[in-house]
A and B are shown apart, each in its own frame.
Chain A
Amino acid sequence: MYSFDYQKAGSVADAAKAATGEAKLVAGGMTLIPTLKLRLAQPSKLVDLGGIRDLVGIKAEGGGVTIGAMTTHAAVAKSADVKKAIPALAVLAEGIGDPAVRNRGTIGGSVANNDPAADYPAACVALGATIVTSKRKIAADDFFKGLFETALEAGEVITAVSFPAPEKANYQKFRNPASRYALVGVFVAKTKGGVRVAVTGAGEGGVFRKKSFEAALSKSFDAGALDAVKVDAKGLNSDIHASADYRAHLIKVMAKRAVQAAR
């Protein structure tokens, strides 16, 4: 770790003002602190969002839920509102990392970080979530821009993520046995606007929508509808944990299981 200054922000405005230049926001620290320890990042200052009360909490609104950026994965997993509106989201949160990570890690941090194998990005994209920031509202489709890249600008703070309730949804995660992140994670949502399928863990550029699945499932929301759809391994990750071919195969298996389990 290099040395850095530390500031506990009192409000979102404070945080946005402070988080410029080489300064960095810190939420749960589950991702950021390890990178600091390995000296992979050298921020001049950490701006801690931990003191901003407004950023914590879950609101049920218009059938969906709005989750404050500093809400932990554990809180989402336990939330009666989430379980009622989008049970798949609660299950997803329960499957992130281990208890320590779930009790510290936040939805805002996860979404801002956009790890290509993280779980929340799949939910955001499949459910058509809106990322609410200190400046604007960004549709999930426009938010995730590739590996660890997002639409966030310097000094922009995520304040909440809004999820509309789907008719049915399910998330199937095939875990990387070592990291416990998604080797392949598929979130399927049947929404008023049609079926949306988002895949995490597999793509070279992070989370992506599987449009061919969406088309097939929009015609018939049935696992069998995917049988005839081919999954190309092109553009998928190949690493020591799984080849692109295997990932392509798992995308279909996980998608079918998600359709079967959707409720």
Chain B
Amino acid sequence: MPEGTGIGASVRRREDGRFLTGSGTYTDDINRPGQTHAIMVRSPHAHAKIKKIDRAKTLKMPGVLAVYTGEDMKVGGLPCGWLVKNQDGSPMVEPPHPALAQDFVRHVGDIVAVVIAETKQQARDGADALGVDYGVLPAVVDTRAAVKPGAPQVWEQAKGNICYDWGLGDKAAVDAAFAKAHKVAKIDLVNNRLIPNAMEPRAAIGDFDRATGEHTLYTTSQNPHVIRLLMGAFVLSIPEAKLRVVAPDVGGGFGSKIYHYAEEAIVTWAAAQLKKPVKWTAERSESFMSDAHGRDHATHAELALDKDGKFLALKVETLANMGAYLSTFSTCVPTYLYATLLAGVYTTPAIFANVKAVFTNTVPVDAYRGAGRPEATFLLERVVDVAAREMKMDPAEIRRKNFIQPSQFPYQTPVALQYDTGNYGATLDMAMKMADYKGFAARKDASAKKGKLRGIGMACYIEACGIAPSAVVGSLGARAGLYECANVRVHPTGSVSVFTGSHAHGQGHETTFAQVVADKLGIPIEQVDIVHGDTGKIPFGMGTYGSRSIAVGGAALVKALDKIVAKGKKIAAHLMEASEKDVEFKDGKFTVAGTDKSKAFGEVALTAYVPHNYPITELEPGLEEQAFYDPLNFTYPSGCYIAEVEVDKETGSIEIARFVASDDFGKIINPMIVEGQVHGGVAQGLGQALLENCVYDKDGQLLTGSYNDYCMPRADDLPSFEVQHTDKPTPCTHNPLGVKGCGEAGAIGAPAAFMNAVCNALGVAHLDMPATSEKVWRAANAHMARAAE
């Protein structure tokens, strides 16, 4: 293996030169000959009937080529990828989701029409001039308000605004356990709605080739093949062979670029109407009101404990806001990615969760970094702290007492998942040591002397990643498989192109995947090129989300590489006149056991393409292999995060004194990249805990529609995170790399750690996120009033 570029090496990210010098190619950088520009006309109302659209004035304006509305674009609706069933077995309510509104608009930002002109400026002028006559209807935005009797109805067919009423777990067992509980810890919480805010706004270009009839869509997507499948098969009825989807460099996704969005279908369709390329790039204010939002749960939970602090049972009731339409993965987020994680890292024997998904007149909600798992972790790690408080136990002690022990794996939880490995005590120990947990009392005293309140909080998270075994998700309502594909093309001189169905939008696959290749084939990393993001080049793929790239895409890559080595051995055996079974491959060389015969990988590759001396009757020339990998189980990364904060009672400001992370990601390909992923995730978790909140007014106007009001974390909001990988990793048992995935962990574990620290400082049972200075000030005052009594 070349020194320092294989598995386990912190190879510098090969893509960064391109990104940092502005030489990447993002969708908006692409310009097609004869390109026109689209502006989406969006509803200013949260709920209204479209009475009339008058396009006459717009059509007369300079440069305007077309105005299309829902009347014109009569195509299929945007599909939802996951059918969830009600507790009674009936299917969820699945309302239509037209790309261009048909008769009604259901959230601010809903697309009413598209204006296409020769320049963007002309399209904008035309859009401003478009006369849309609305009949405004009452709107509902708040999750809890949506299910109240008399609430405005988003969809006639969804009575009480309920999309589904779903349950998981054994309710009878839970009730029985609660009946004999020593104590019950209760919590009511809101998991705040977030707006994703990828650095690159969404963009899409539709192109149509008159000569071939081929449609091309360039788009900011995390999964171009999925977009081709959904848009081609469900919306526009274009066969795959005539539809190419390209997702070039993509500047961040965090989930928000998984889904098939209306704009993609609109530009693709309009390009075919006009026989001209049509480009759309979101302005930042459009991103706020049209990118799928995240989280937005209202939950009541109760944890039953025995007298020693052992968890007996957990019951959870959650209302999950879907927004106005069902986005691609929306329905599985608060069910199969949430309730299945409610065992956490604990042996709680009985769990029951009831989740009601509700429609509101807001932007659709879908997976956002962590997707369901941050909500589960936040709930669980908060209620465990409430329990510790009530039992007067140390939060570390109560957790340790309830951990699933290393000897218990594989561990079947009461909520469907089977964890393969883990060592939760190890990450807890490590994090406590890193955070000097023992020294906290002294630090708290020192803060008190300065008149400050100090708090420490921990969160022990687990996530189900490496999404997902197709048969399992299929049985749960998924309408797709979740395998991955890799194609390895060895070129005649031994360099390698990998075509992967995983998609990188900042994660560093061009480095990590190349390390796997360099390691397995023993060739220099410079000889390896990772190609992704183009259905015209990649055989197939399900894309990147759910921390699945290395666990599923990487596993597919290993399978394809194994096939390359197997074929290489046959060729080498022929060249060395040896039996195939005596040929070994190591460090880029084929050797014959017990001899000094050897053929380099490059020689074998050349022979495959110049087959003069070749076993031609048994073996085809060429050296290219493909593999699909469908995981046998999810992977289960876990870890412990500890936050320490100091609160200024006078103002309610929070200073983060320390944040430590100890994670178990199993086998790690590139420790530096993994650490970076944790940093990014923790920053987003901190954002959710302390800063970010999407706010609508009661009429459904988005009050946090810009950075003036929506508080994204900035570098100076963040402390220097201390991130370490566990010293006792537990590699995944069922994928060939032993990897678990790391992309979401930070966002999953961090919110609870921060909020546990804040609640600990304030001496309160609970505070909803984000812990703004005013909320903290009010709580601190109440706390001081109590202390004075």
Task: Find out whether the CB atom of B777 lies under 8 angstroms from the CB atom of A179.
Answer: no
Q: A3-B121, A177-B691 are in contact. Are A240 and B285 (CB under 8 A)?
A: no
Q: Is B103 an interface residue (CB 8 A)?
A: no
Task: Find out whether the CB atom of A39 lies under 8 angstroms from the CB atom of B774.
Answer: no
Task: Find out whether the CB atom of A179 lies under 8 angstroms from the CB atom of B709.
Answer: yes
Q: Is B710 an interface residue (CB 8 A)?
A: yes
Q: Is B613 an interface residue (CB 8 A)?
A: no
Q: A177-B711, A246-B774 are in contact. Are A240 and B703 (CB under 8 A)?
A: yes
Q: A38-B285, A174-B651 are in contact. Are A249 and B777 (CB under 8 A)?
A: yes
Task: Report the separation of the CA atoms of residues A53 and B614 in the bound assembly, to the nearest whole angstrom.
Answer: 80
Task: Find out whether the CB atom of A250 lies under 8 angstroms from the CB atom of B691.
Answer: no
Chain A residue numbers with a CB within 8 Å of B709 are 178-179, 240-241
Task: Find out whether the CB atom of B285 lies under 8 angstroms from the CB atom of A243.
Answer: no
Task: Find out whether the CB atom of B774 lies under 8 angstroms from the CB atom of A253.
Answer: no
B719 to chain A, nearest CB (A): 15
Task: Find out whether the CB atom of A178 lies under 8 angstroms from the CB atom of B707.
Answer: yes
Task: Report the separation of the CA atoms of residues A240 and B710 in the bound assembly, to the nearest whole angstrom.
Answer: 10
Chain A minimum-CB-distance residue to B717: A177
Interface of B is mostly: loop
Chain B residue numbers with a CB within 8 Å of A240 are 695, 703-704, 709
Q: Is B128 an interface residue (CB 8 A)?
A: yes
A173 to chain B, nearest CB (A): 11
Chain A minimum-CB-distance residue to B704: A240
Task: Report the separation of the CA atoms of residues A242 and B774 in the bound assembly, to the nearest whole angstrom.
Answer: 6
Interface of A is mostly: loop
Task: Find out whether the CB atom of B708 lies under 8 angstroms from the CB atom of A253.
Answer: no
Chain A minimum-CB-distance residue to B693: A240
Q: A39-B128, A177-B691 are in contact. Are A250 and B710 (CB under 8 A)?
A: no
Task: Find out whether the CB atom of B704 lies under 8 angstroms from the CB atom of A253.
Answer: no
B267 to chain A, nearest CB (A): 22
Q: Is B650 an interface residue (CB 8 A)?
A: yes
Task: Find out whether the CB atom of B651 lies under 8 angstroms from the CB atom of A253.
Answer: yes
Supply 10 further A-B pairs (C-beta < 8 A) apart from A177-B711, A178-B707, A178-B709.
Answer: A3-B121, A174-B651, A177-B691, A178-B710, A178-B712, A179-B707, A181-B708, A241-B709, A243-B774, A253-B651
B40 to chain A, nearest CB (A): 15
Chain A residue numbers with a CB within 8 Å of B121 are 1, 3
Chain A residue numbers with a CB within 8 Å of B774 are 241-243, 246
Classify chain A: how many residues form its interface, as a range: 10 to 19
Please encode chain B, from 248 to 286, with 1 for each CB lying within 8 Å of some chain A CB and 0 for all others.
000000000000000000000000000000000000010
Closest 5 CB pairs of A and B: A178-B711, A179-B708, A246-B774, A177-B711, A253-B650
Chain B residue numbers with a CB within 8 Å of A243 are 774
Task: Report the separation of the CA atoms of residues A174 and B651 in the bound assembly, to the nearest whole angstrom.
Answer: 9
Q: Which of B660-694 contact A (CB under 8 A)?
A: 691
Task: Report the separation of the CA atoms of residues A179 and B691 in the bound assembly, to the nearest whole angstrom.
Answer: 12
B707 to chain A, nearest CB (A): 6
Chain B minimum-CB-distance residue to A98: B714
Please encode chain B, from 629 to 656, with 1 for each CB lying within 8 Å of some chain A CB and 0 for all others.
0000000000000000000001101000
Task: Report the separation of the CA atoms of residues A118 and B188 in the bound assembly, to the nearest whole angstrom.
Answer: 38
Please encode chain A, from 156 to 178, with 1 for each CB lying within 8 Å of some chain B CB and 0 for all others.
00000000000000000010011
Chain A minimum-CB-distance residue to B777: A246
Chain A residue numbers with a CB within 8 Å of B773 are 174, 177, 242
B772 to chain A, nearest CB (A): 8
Task: Report the separation of the CA atoms of residues A84 and B773 in the bound assembly, to the nearest whole angstrom.
Answer: 34
Most buried by A among B691, B717, B772: B772
Q: Which of A231-263 contact B (CB under 8 A)?
A: 240-243, 246, 249-250, 253
Chain B minimum-CB-distance residue to A250: B651
Chain B minimum-CB-distance residue to A246: B774
Chain A residue numbers with a CB within 8 Å of B710 are 178
Q: Which of B707-732 contact A (CB under 8 A)?
A: 707-712, 717
Please encode chain A, from 111 to 153, with 1 for each CB lying within 8 Å of some chain B CB and 0 for all others.
0000000000000000000000000000000000000000000
